[in-house]
Amino acid sequence: MAHSEGRPEGVAVITGAASGMGEASARLMGQAGWPLLLCDLDGGRLATTAERLRGGGAVETLAGDIAGAAFPGSLAAALADRPVGALIHCAALSPTMANPDRILEVNLAATMRLVDAVRPRMAAGSAAVLFASIAGHQMGAALDEPISKASTPDAVASLTAYASNSGLAYSISKRGVHLLVRREALGFGRRGARIISLSPGIIDTPMGQAELKAHAVMQTMVDGSALPRLARAEEVAAVAAFLCSPAASFITGTDILVDGGTIGVMLSGAGGK
């Protein structure tokens, strides 16, 4: 059953909603009339974000560690008997934030558990948008076989053998999100739902700025892009909101690059021109 305005019925679940791309996504989805369930580890900042957004409609919060064993059950309890009309999953750790094991657990294993939790609750016409990264494109298909074999949350730990540092763990985790979306598309489609990954380039958020400061090569990537600047969180969030809308009703099982042309320039070999 669709909402009278054309969007699916149900709640929009947004993770990492207390700041950055999650907060920007929440703002846009709220403006579009969605009832919101905002999730984040930082309960204080989450409450502040929710208070700012409540003037536009219904906003609920769920504070907790998305990688915690209790999170799927907490999410189910918060949803009660309501379907999920949209999921925008932004919560993740960047390379400077944790060790390889924790990055793989949060970015990939927890994402798999989240998908498992929402799949049976997805409404007809709904969409799940999982934030990935250009890092998944940069590493290419070299490790696709072991990443594909690690197709359950418990198996993700096996990928630490390939992740000698946090940067590699991050790239592997985001490539894993790309492959997860491909695997899940058929099952979601049988429910009349869609699932897509979204790969931003370097974003002007606190997380993006921290990575820029820690890794000089990232500024080189920005300078060599077709659009040589950082993205604004709102630019990326606008694509996520579009992907959850009926206007994107035939997009599923794929990754959408929102990177200012970084990967296109790299693949063309035109970076030095």
Provide the residue ranges of all domains of the chain, joining segments of one domain with +.
11-201+234-267
Tokens of 12: 């929009």
What is the rounded average pLDDT for all residues in the chain? Answer: 94
Q: Residue 1 has what pLDDT?
A: 40
What average pLDDT score do residues 104-131 get? 98
Q: Give residue 52's pLDDT.
A: 93
Number of DSSP helices (H) and strands (E) in the chain, helices first: 12, 7
Q: pLDDT value at position 200?
A: 96
CA distance 158 to 143: 12
Instruction: Output the pLDDT for position 102.
Output: 98
Average pLDDT of the segment spanning 49-58: 88
pLDDT, tens digit, for every residue of 32-44? Answer: 999 999 999 999 9
Backbone torsion region of residue 104, taken as left when φ is above 0, otherwise alpha when ψ lies between -120 and 50, otherwise beta:
alpha
- 257 strand-pairing partners: 199
- HSE-CB for 27 with a 13 A CA cutoff: 16
Phi, psi of 128 (to 5 degrees): -110, 125
Question: CATH for 11-201+234-267, among 3.40.50.720, 3.30.300.30, 3.30.70.260, 3.90.1170.50?
Answer: 3.40.50.720
Q: Label residue 139 by pLDDT band (50, 70, 90).
A: very high
40-49, 118-127, 205-214, 236-245, range with the lowest pLDDT: 205-214
In this structure, the strands spanning 59-63 and 194-200 are: unpaired
Say yes or no to pLDDT of 189 above 70: yes
Write down the pLDDT at residue 271: 59
> Which tokens is 10 given?
């149900």
For 187, the token pair is: 């099952």
